[in-house]
Structure 1
Amino acid sequence: MEIIEDLKESSLETVSVLGKLGTFGFVSLQSDSNLGKSYVKKTSTLEQSKNLEKELRIMLRFHNNPFIVRASSDHLHFATNTKSMSLCYIYMEYASLGNLNKMISDAGGRLSEDSVRRATRMILQGLKALHSEGFVHCDLKPSNVLVFPSNTRGEPWDLKLAGFGLSKEPTMDSSLLFPGTLEEYMSPEAIERDRFVGKDKLIGPARDIWSLGRIVLRMFGGIPVEVRGSNTWRLYEDISPEATDFVRRCLAWRPSNRATVDELLDHPFAAEKLPLLLSFLRVPSFVRRNVNEKLNVRQEELIPKPQGLLW
């Protein structure tokens, strides 16, 4: 496993504090002027060490995946601050373009549909890696989607998933409660667990799919609003039929009715466009449409349609 091995703590200087982490923790930008490299340092109290250990463990597990943020050190570090408080911290790669929240804000509060499509596909690729190994993110939200300069010619940015401190690992009990940190992106079964029964009560990949649907609404300029006490989102502009259908399949109330990552990667909204010369290899569109219509008749009845611009 390839880990960045030239990180020398003695050469690092704190450039700035990027944000808070709980009550006493914080995230800071560290720079090694000798190597010309920057890192992110996440620091917390020993009471939160299990969350940092889990986050590091998951980053190391997916270290070579281009859609998961990379650890910059392979172990948990410990230190004592000036107030004699014991702290622990980890290092990871620095996202120089910030997070998805910042990208949306810099764009005036709404991304173009092409940008939303590309961002959605990258998030799905990260989720595919997690879900295929039995992991569930459990805290998927724009601030946990980091933005990096793109490695693809002609593209301005790439996205990677981060923030795995609350994630469910394969060996963890699916019946346990895995709270998120931002209710507007949390699934119904995470907020009102007692309203669900059977498998729908368990924490599984469908939880991340709901969060993804809310993130897509946010990228389209949506904001959470309270309507008769319910957690609802409002869009202020129409979106395409493809995007509308995609979001609907993410936001089915029952977890078992939500689309899977693989289904969403094949959805017309998120599917990777084939070069023109290769497009003839695909099944003709009218055949795909007829098959999908037959497969989705029951699904259409189960997934509520948005009322106007309310979701």
Structure 2
Amino acid sequence: MEIIETEISFSGYLKRYGHLKFIELSDPPLTKRPRYSPSVIPPLPDQNPIFTLKLSPIILKNNKRKRFTPKSSSSRSVEEITKQVFDGVVRKSSSWIKSEFLGRGSYGSVYLATSKKAKTKTTMAIKSAEISRASSLMDEERILTRLSSPFIVRCYGHEIAREETLFGGERTNYNLILEYCSGKSLFDLVNDNLGGLSEKDVKLLARDILYGLDYIHRANIIHCDIKPENIFLTPVENRIRPSGYVAKIGDFGLALEKGSSEYEKASGHRRGTTRYMSPELIRHGIVDYAVDTWAFGCTVLEMLTGQQVWGEHSDLGSVDWDILIGQSCYIPYIPDWLSEEAQHFLSRCLKRDPASRWGIGALLNHPFLQCGSIIVY
């Protein structure tokens, strides 16, 4: 599929009374696009009765991301016991020591580790899985070792080590060694800022993500799972960044190299997280650079609003998600209270037709992102 990028002519924008009026030379002026109102769930093809239910304004008003609250005592105790058991087993390598159990993923476990060789102790993240189940980690390393950008989580290689099990036995683990981003994830940052981040912070973080996407796309890599949980934050001085963070793209377990045998096998199949999948990916299994642009738009929308994309449809079943995203004419709701520049920017990311969706270069030159400076180190 050929991706069509529309270049922006700054002379095509008219600044009047402090507001930008978009008069594009290469694109017709904005027309009223089909949108659904947040107060009524729109009827869709082959609709399920749930699509005709009206939601009260109170429900929608409170449908924001919720702060993290502890789970019930029973589930919390299980989680604490699991963490205690894993932390109680000393795991060593020739170059590092795992010091803290951070969590589990579909690929295996994640640990905090400290380097033993460096003069200054370096903290790293270790993704670990039993070697017979480590194919996704191997795929991730294969992609990451080709990449080197300040906007991509660094990969330091891997080690295969025999490690103790909880019951005194041994197993062979594949350990992927990654940069540890101590600012956690963009998902955490949005959750901690109910109502959304400031536009100034969103612009800076969005530019970081776009620079990362531009870099991997030039390397013929499609990420396939852009979402707030996979954007990691590295702390920097507040005098450099008001938000205090630089954003880096991570978790390349589903990434594909365009033209590779893996890419050919993936054709016609979905990859990623449904809520952030593009219409063409859900409907036809088309995997191309434009799927990352759509998912990026969903991520920026969440940063600006503090709400999950498609949040008013959270209770839908898988078939209804397919209809909503893959077959309807709707895009995620873009609130009118956002600035004109933000609305226009999001509408260009969230074009249902991938050929009309703006490319990374055009988005980087959009007036919404024309502020501040980037950090390269």
Q: TM-score interval w.r.t. the shorter chain? A: 0.7 to 0.9
1:27 aligns to what?
110
2:205 aligns to what?
119
Deviation at 1:58, TM superposition (A): 2.2
Tell me, what secondary structure is at the counterpart of 1:9? coil
Q: Distance in 2 between matches of 1:29 and 1:154?
A: 27
Deviation at 1:111, TM superposition (A): 0.6
Identity of paired residues, percent? 30
The change in CA–CA distance for 1:145 and 1:178 in structure 2 (over 3 A counts) is: farther
Check if 1:52 corresponds to 2:137.
yes
Deviation at 1:54, TM superposition (A): 2.2
Check if 1:187 corresponds to 2:273.
no
Check if 1:128 corresponds to 2:219.
no
When structure 1 is superposed on structure 2, of 10-19 and 34-43 the one drifting more is 10-19
Aligned partners of 1:67 and 1:126 also within 8 Å: yes
1:284 aligns to what?
none
2:328 aligns to what?
none
Aligned partners of 2:224 and 2:272 also within 8 Å: no
1:148 aligns to what?
234
The change in CA–CA distance for 1:9 and 1:86 in structure 2 (over 3 A counts) is: closer
Equivalent residue runs for 1:242-257 within 5 Å:
242-257=341-356
Equivalent residue runs for 1:231-246 within 5 Å:
231=325, 233-234=332-333, 238-246=337-345
Deviation at 1:38, TM superposition (A): 0.8
Q: Distance in 2 between matches of 1:140 and 1:126?
A: 11
- TM-score, structure 2 as length reference: 0.62
1:15 aligns to what?
99
- TM-score, structure 1 as length reference: 0.74
1:162 aligns to what?
250
Q: Distance in 1 between matches of 2:97 and 2:172?
A: 20
Rg: which structure is higher?
2
The change in CA–CA distance for 1:85 and 1:75 in structure 2 (over 3 A counts) is: closer
Counterpart residue identity of residue 27, structure 1? V
Aligned partners of 1:187 and 1:207 also within 8 Å: yes
Check if 1:38 corresponds to 2:38.
no
Deviation at 1:235, TM superposition (A): 6.1
Counterpart residue identity of residue 122, structure 1? D
C-alpha deviations, 1:223-261, integer Å up to 9, x for none? 222299425745677211111111111111121111000
C-alpha deviations, 1:51-93, integer Å up to 9, x for none? 2122112222112x11111112x34534355265543121011
Aligned partners of 2:158 and 2:174 also within 8 Å: no
Q: Distance in 1 between matches of 2:218 and 2:269?
A: 19
C-alpha deviations, 1:250-298, integer Å up to 9, x for none? 1111211110000100111123558xxxxxxxxxxxxxxxxxxxxxxxx
Equivalent residue runs for 1:216-231 within 5 Å:
216-220=300-304, 221-223=306-308, 224-226=311-313, 229=320, 230-231=324-325
C-alpha deviations, 1:88-137, integer Å up to 9, x for none? 12101110110101111222351111111111110000000011121100
Q: Distance in 2 between matches of 1:209 and 1:112?
A: 22
Q: Distance in 2 between matches of 1:77 and 1:110?
A: 42
Aligned partners of 1:187 and 1:211 also within 8 Å: yes
Q: Which runs of 5+ in 2 are unaligned?
A: 1-91, 326-330
Counterpart residue identity of residue 115, structure 1? D
The change in CA–CA distance for 1:178 and 1:270 in structure 2 (over 3 A counts) is: farther
Q: How many residues align?
A: 257
Deviation at 1:19, TM superposition (A): 2.0
